[in-house]
């Protein structure tokens, strides 16, 4: 459980033998619900054009009962947690856009880090924006590129890729009913392509969505690639090349579902390995290992294996309460801890507990979890964290944009330990994290841990533009 928040999940589907694609998108969005709970939406290409709807809340709250009448062979969907604007239906995705009498829709996962520059450029050309989202800027940029490319979507996406900086895995629905999926050249956010029965092609943020639709994995969309799905089949094009990769390490540590495979790495196995590395480096003098559910469970298994300490479910999770880490507002998150978690007193009373979680961002949530265990009679609480200290902001889509919000950037490990009320606190090492993930450090984005950003803009500029907009618009 963390105070950092993921931004979105995307789905695109093309069903060759039927016009009932919307229910497939709906089911895939349910599988991606963990990536955003503020809003969701579905757009399809019907006989009357690109149309759809969006709603606030969970997928079943926003979309149930609205699928009838939404007919089409191709469509896209989205679940959202905002990173550059507030919570409202107007900012929800997918985003429909019209240019030269042609309507398309787009949805993406990530953050456009040169958003402010692009917005000003487009405004100077006469574009009038209705929202403050980077999604609308992306849609306007695509519309301009489509005009320049003669409505060739692959070429237009190539033009966009030359201008965009930051993280984006996107799906787009063309005015003619074709599906496009694209990934930024550094590969910050995941994107995979699958094939199911009735020639159902699905592009999704995670493979768990493909599994939900009984699709086999065809391939992971490579960084800098675009995929076109149409009547003639599937085409893959290179949009832009980069000599390096920058896959978000938080996908492996926390964001992705444990049953997903990201770029050839199974998330659950990576988290167990990370926990094992943590246990080998920082064993605790404890009686039991207790995970913070669900985020710490796989790492706690690895920690237990490495230390030989028994793993017990000392905290029970109320599964009917929304995820704390993506609830807007610090006060809401803190108040929900007690509703969300409850200690199993016989398992922790009188015992020394090694408490395992994925990360600490602001520290307030962990402070309350430690308090719950002490209130249940735990003799000692030793906190062990899968992720090294987060000391720098993220400008590629995770909602902790400024150093001031990061407890590890202003306090020592000992000071953080005292703040959360732990008997001891140890973070995993950077080496342990990377070894556990199983990818070379040159293929990962570790900027929030090191302050070394893989994009061209300086951190101070990013914080001023993106961080400032977030603070002003929430």
The residues annotated with a catalytic role in the active site are 8
Q: From CA 105, how far away is CA 118, in angstroms rounded?
A: 19
- Tokens standing for residue 222: 């490579």
CA–CA dist 132, 91 (Å, integer): 8
Q: Whole-angstrom Cα distance, residue 166 to residue 115?
A: 9
Geometric angle at alpha carbon 309, from 306 and 314, rounded to 5°: 120
**Helix/strand/coil percent split, the chain, to 5:** 35, 25, 35
Q: Which residues contact 134 (CB under 8 A, 6 or more apart)?
A: 84, 111, 112, 115
Residue 62's nearest CA partner among 84, 87, 86 is 87
Burial class (CB in 10 A: 0-12, 13-18, 19+), 424: middle
**Integer Cα distance of 441 and 421 in angstroms:** 33
Neighbours of 438 (CB within 10 A): 14
| Chain centroid to CA 48 | 33
Alpha-carbon span 301 to 308, nearest angstrom: 10
Label each residue of 361-424 as H, E or C: CCCHHHHHHHHHHHHCCCCEEEEEECCCCCCCCCCCCCCCCCHHHCHHHHCCHHHHHHHHCCCE
DSSP helix/strand/coil, 154? helix
Judge contact between 388 and 447, C-beta under 8 A: no
Contact 343, 19 (CB under 8 A): no
Distance CA 104, CA 297 (A): 41
Please work out, in degrees rounded to the nearest 5, the angle formed at the alpha carbon of residue 130 by the alpha carbons of 124 and 134: 75
Tokens of 20: 């009932």
Cα 256 to Cα 73, 84, 253, 295, 451, distances in angstroms: 28, 21, 8, 10, 23
């Amino acid at each position: 459980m963390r105070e950092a928040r993921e931004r979105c999940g995307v789905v695109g589907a093309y069903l060759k033998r039927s016009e009932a694609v919307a229910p497939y998108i709906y089911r895939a969005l349910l599988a991606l619900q963990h990536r955003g709970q503020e809003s969701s939406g579905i757009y399809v290409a019907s006989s009357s054009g690109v149309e759809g709807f969006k709603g606030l809340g969970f997928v079943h709250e926003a979309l149930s009962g609205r699928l009838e009448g939404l007919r089409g062979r191709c469509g896209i969907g989205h679940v959202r947690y905002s990173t550059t604007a507030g919570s409202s239906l107007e900012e929800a995705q997918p985003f429909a856009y019209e240019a030269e009498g042609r309507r398309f829709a787009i949805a993406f996962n990530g953050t456009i880090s040169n958003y402010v520059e692009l917005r000003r450029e487009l405004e100077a050309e006469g574009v009038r924006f209705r929202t403050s989202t980077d999604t609308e800027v992306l849609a306007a940029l695509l519309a301009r590129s489509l005009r320049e490319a003669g409505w060739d979507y692959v070429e237009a996406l190539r033009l966009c890729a030359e201008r965009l900086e930051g993280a984006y895995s996107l799906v787009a629905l063309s005015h003619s009913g074709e599906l496009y999926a694209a990934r930024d050249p550094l590969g910050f956010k995941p994107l995979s392509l699958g094939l199911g029965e009735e020639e159902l092609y699905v592009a999704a943020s995670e493979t768990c969505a493909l599994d939900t639709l009984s699709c086999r994995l065809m391939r992971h969309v490579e960084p800098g690639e675009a995929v076109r799905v149409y009547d003639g089949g599937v085409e893959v094009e290179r949009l832009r090349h980069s000599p390096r990769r920058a896959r978000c390490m938080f996908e492996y540590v926390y964001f992705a579902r444990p049953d997903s495979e990201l770029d050839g790495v199974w998330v659950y196995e990576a988290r167990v390995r990370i926990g094992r590395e943590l246990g080998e480096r920082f064993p605790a003098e404890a009686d039991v290992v207790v995970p913070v559910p669900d985020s710490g469970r796989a790492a706690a298994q690895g920690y237990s294996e490495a230390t030989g300490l028994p793993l017990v479910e000392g905290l029970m999770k109320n599964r009917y309460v929304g995820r704390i880490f993506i609830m807007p507002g610090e006060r809401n998150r803190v108040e929900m801890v007690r509703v969300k978690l409850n200690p199993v007193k016989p398992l922790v009373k009188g015992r020394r507990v090694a408490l395992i979680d994925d990360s600490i961002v602001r520290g307030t949530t962990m402070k309350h979890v430690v308090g719950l265990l002490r209130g249940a009679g735990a003799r000692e609480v030793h906190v062990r964290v899968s992720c090294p200290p987060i000391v720098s902001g993220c400008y590629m889509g995770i909602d902790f944009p400024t150093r001031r919000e990061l407890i590890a950037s202003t306090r020592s490990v000992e000071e953080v330990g005292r703040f959360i009320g732990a008997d001891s606190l140890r973070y995993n090492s950077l080496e342990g994290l990377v070894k556990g993930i199983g990818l070379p450090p040159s293929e990962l984005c570790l900027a929030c841990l090191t302050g070394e950003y893989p994009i061209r803009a300086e951190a101070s500029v990013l914080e001023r533009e993106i961080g400032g907009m977030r603070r002003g618009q929430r």
